[in-house]
Structure 1
Amino acid sequence: MNLEGRKIIVNKSSKELVEILKSPENYKDFMPDGLQKFETREDGFKFGLQGMPEIALKIDEVNDQKAVLKSASSSLDFSLTATLNPLNENQTEVQMFFEGNFNPFIKMMVEKPLQNFINTLTDKIEAYK
C-alpha cells in the first residue's frame, strides 16, 4: 500500500530540516491533535492517538534528500519517508510518502486513517516555525 501527501514548501533550508528531523523529540510538534502519548527513545519515538493503537517508529535515515521513519515493530512492515528538495537557501519542498505491506483486510481498515495522518503531518510541517 502506497500513500502520499501533497507537496509543500517549508521556510527552512534543507540543512535546518535535517537537524530537526534527526531528533526524536521534535516529532511531537508534528503530531495530530488527539495525541495521548508521546515517548522518545534513543533512535525514535512511540506515540498514541485517540482511538488508535500505539505506534513505535525508529529514525532510519536522515540526509539532505530524505528522512525515513520505519516501524519499530516486527509485526508491521512500513516506512514513512519525507523527501526534501531544496529550492533556495531558505526554502525546501517537502513531500510525505507512506509505504506498507499489509493484507487486504488491514489495508481497508487503515488506509483512510493513515491518509488523514499524513495530511496532518504535512500541514504541521508546513506551519512549523
Structure 2
Amino acid sequence: MNIIISNSSGEPIYEQIRNQIRKLIISDNLKEGDSLPSIRNLAKELKISVITTKRAYEELERDGFIETIPGKGSFIAAQNKELLREIKMKNVEEYLIKAIEEGKNVNVSLEELKEMLDVLYE
C-alpha cells in the first residue's frame, strides 16, 4: 500500500491516511477481506506516531470501511454497495460542478457543455 504524507498539506496526517485508504477502497484497489498493515508497521513505514495511525484506523472503522479483529489485524470490511455507489456519484457531481464553473468562467453555454459531455461520454 502506497500512502504519501505531505507535511505542506493543511490536512492533518491522520486524515491524509484515512482519505487515501478510503479512496483505495472506493476505487476497488483494496477489496473486502484484504488486510491492512498493522498500526505499528504503518507508523514505522511512514515515520509517524503510532497514535496518528491508530486514529486513522479508528475513523475508518467508525465509518465502516475497515474492521479490526483483536490479535489478527485490520481488514477491509464488506461494503454496502449502495453506499459506495452514492459516494462515487458524489465524486462525479463534484467534478461536474468544477467543469460547470470553468465553463462559466469562459462563457461556455449550457448547450455547449451538454454537447461536450455527449461527445466525451461516447
TM-score when normalising by structure 1: 0.23
More strand by share: 1
Question: Hey, which of these two has a bigger chunk of helix by percent?
Answer: 2
Decide which structure has the larger Cα Rg and report it: 2
RCO greater where, 1 or 2, for CA within 8 Å and sep 6 or more? 1
